[in-house]
């Protein structure tokens, strides 16, 4: 069970909810790191009094240093400052919640210190899964999932740890704000439409990924690495209510599901307290009033990002880095109003067709694939 925690991405949605859990469970926020949110980082630093507060943006860090001059909080800036927070010896655990590829190096830095790593940054495993998990093994680090779906799979697998008896992992998917729409209808959707998720309150990038179903595709790749399962043994099911967070089907056709209210504080807490369960701040599930639960197949024609991710999952190697790099760049353009919603999968498909996937890549080859994919999108 964690006692002293570093939060990488403390000002984001997962980071803020992690602080709720830490406060409720009597843990200590030992170090906080984020990109550039000066005002919120100042609030967090004053409330939780971490030893370190780091901002990747040097100018923002300089501002924060002035704001916190009357405290004992050590303010750091730039990537090196974030890496120092990630490796801080005063923390036994790191919550890896930085968004996108930017989270890879800090997550690896925490792993190399042998920490418990609560992984909310799915891109780390999508882009470099085998390398990351090999380093976790070599350095004795424990990696626990924070995504609600992967936490659910993790909990269901606790019932039977013989992977040979697992028939299938089933990841649930809300379907996002555009569930039921046909491809032609999606040509007209706006940035504001895409950011209206029906069940979860998340950052802009992951909310758009949920709208395109890319988020679920990234989770398939992440599940392959976390649970050492081939893509053929991982399925996606649309479950609009977000009450069943995922399921495991066993060889005897029994299915185990983990259920709960759509509240990310529960999987965050389980990653921090495993193998213990303790009272916490998450919302209890009211079975009498949650309504009927529905399940259906995803529409791969209307939402081709999921199909592209499944293709990358089967290809392996740097295909995940190509997929993710192109998607990050395309989503950034969509959020900036430069491209339409359906341009996102078109640009990702272009990158996957133009950038060659390398098998058993080095870290440099992964970074090169990411950069090449982003270049095709620009």
Q: Does residue 329 belong to any structural domain of this protein?
A: no
Residues 168 and 307 in one domain: yes
Secondary structure of residue 172 in the 3-state scheme: strand
- pLDDT for residue 160: 81
Does 79 lie in the same domain as 18? yes
Residue 325 domain-assigned (yes or no): no
- Are residues 126 and 211 both part of a single domain? no
What H or E segment, with its residue span, contains residue 195? none
pLDDT of residue 367: 95
Asked if 304 and 188 sit in the same domain, the reply is yes
Domain end call among 87, 113, 145: 145
Q: Containing domain of residue 46, as a range?
A: 4-145
Instruction: Tell me whether residue 357 is in a domain.
Output: no
Show which of 283, 311, 339 is a domain's final residue: 311
Residue 338 forms part of a structural domain: no
Same domain, 265 and 181: yes
Of 285, 311, 337, the residue at which a domain comes to its end is 311
Q: What is the pTM of this model?
A: 0.94
274 Cβ contact list (under 8 Å, min separation 6): 1, 144
User: Which single residue is written with the structure tokens 């900036």?
Assistant: 336
Q: Are residues 180 and 76 in the same domain?
A: no
Antiparallel, parallel or unpaired: β 93-96 and 116-119: parallel
pLDDT (tens digit per residue) in 286-307 = 999 989 999 999 999 999 999 9
Beta bridge partners of 117: 94, 143
Any domain includes 155: yes
CA-only gyration radius of the chain, Å: 20
CATH, residue 39: 3.40.50.720
User: What pLDDT is recorded for position 163?
Assistant: 84
199 pLDDT higher than 80: no
Domain count, the chain: 2
């Amino acid at each position: 069970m964690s006692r002293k925690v570093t939060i990488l991405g403390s000002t984001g949605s997962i980071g803020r909810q992690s602080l709720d859990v830490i406060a409720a469970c009597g843990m200590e926020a030992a170090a906080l790191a984020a990109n550039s949110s000066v005002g919120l980082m100042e609030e967090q630093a004053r409330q939780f009094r971490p030893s370190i507060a780091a901002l990747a943006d040097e100018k923002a860090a300089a501002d924060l240093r002035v704001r916190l001059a009357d405290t004992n909080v050590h303010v750091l800036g730039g990537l090196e400052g974030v890496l120092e927070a990630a490796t801080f010896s005063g923390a036994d655990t790191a919550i890896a919640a930085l968004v996108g590829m930017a989270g890879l190096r800090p997550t690896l830095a925490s792993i190399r210190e042998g920490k418990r790593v609560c992984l909310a940054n799915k891109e780390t495993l999508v882009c470099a899964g085998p390398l990351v998990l090999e380093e976790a093994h070599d350095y004795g680090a424990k990696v626990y999932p924070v995504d609600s779906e992967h936490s659910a799979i993790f909990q269901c697998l606790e019932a039977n740890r013989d992977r040979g008896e697992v028939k299938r992992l089933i990841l649930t998917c809300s379907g996002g704000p555009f569930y039921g729409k046909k491809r032609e209808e999606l040509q007209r959707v706006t940035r504001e439409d895409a950011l209206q998720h029906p069940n979860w309150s998340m950052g802009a990038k992951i909310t758009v990924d949920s709208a395109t179903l890319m988020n679920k595709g990234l989770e398939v790749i992440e599940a392959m690495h976390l649970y050492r399962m081939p893509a053929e043994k991982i399925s996606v099911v649309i479950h609009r209510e977000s009450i069943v967070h995922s399921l495991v089907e066993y060889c005897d056709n029994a299915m185990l599901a983990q259920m709960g209210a759509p509240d990310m504080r529960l999987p965050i807490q389980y990653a921090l307290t495993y193998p213990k369960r303790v009272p916490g701040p998450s919302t209890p599930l009211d079975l009498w009033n949650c309504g009927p639960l529905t399940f259906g197949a995803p529409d791969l024609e209307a939402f081709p990002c999921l199909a592209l991710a499944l293709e990358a999952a089967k290809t392996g190697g740097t295909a995940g880095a190509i997929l993710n790099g192109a998607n990050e760049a395309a989503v950034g353009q969509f959020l900036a109003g430069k491209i339409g919603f359906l341009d996102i999968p078109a640009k990702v498909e272009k990158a996957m067709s133009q950038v060659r996937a390398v098998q058993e890549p080095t870290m440099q080859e992964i970074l090169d694939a990411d950069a090449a994919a982003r270049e095709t999108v620009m």
